[in-house]
Amino acid sequence: EDQVTQSPEALRLQEGESSSLNCSYTVSGLRGLFWYRQDPGKGPEFLFTLYSAGEEKEKERLKATLTKKESFLHITAPKPEDSATYLCAAAGGSNYKLTFGKGTLLTVNP
């Protein structure tokens, strides 16, 4: 059974304090690893897709990386508006579904 585990569950940073969120996955035949951002009361907002180990993608202060077992979401010099829950999801094998982790709740204090 596909599994996705995110850590930490919650992370509190000061504005400008860089850090990383972890996503460990056990998926047979990974077809894609996805990162989403979710604000309270809203649906997940797509950030990145990674397809193979070694791949990296960047968007503003965010950079996502992928290995054969993990993905990291690096946040450089975060701002309060980066506060949200960050969700990781994996698509594997011939299934149509995404398997999500529980998310990391990021709070950036000014």
Span near another protein by CB under 8 A; candidates 13-21, 54-62, 72-80, 84-92: 84-92
Taking a C-beta distance cutoff of 8 angstroms, is the pair 71, 7 a contact?
no
Residue 110 contacts another protein per CB under 8 A: no
Between 63 and 105, CB nearer to another protein:
105
Span near another protein by CB under 8 A; candidates 14-22, 42-50, 53-61, 65-73: 42-50
Shortest gap between Cβ of 74 and another protein (angstroms)? 20
On the question of a cis peptide bond just before residue 40, with omega within 30 degrees of 0, the verdict is: no
Q: CA 95 → CA 8, 31, 51, 70, 84, distances in Å? A: 28, 10, 16, 20, 29
* Residue from the set 13, 25, 34, 66 that interacts with another protein by CB under 8 A: 34
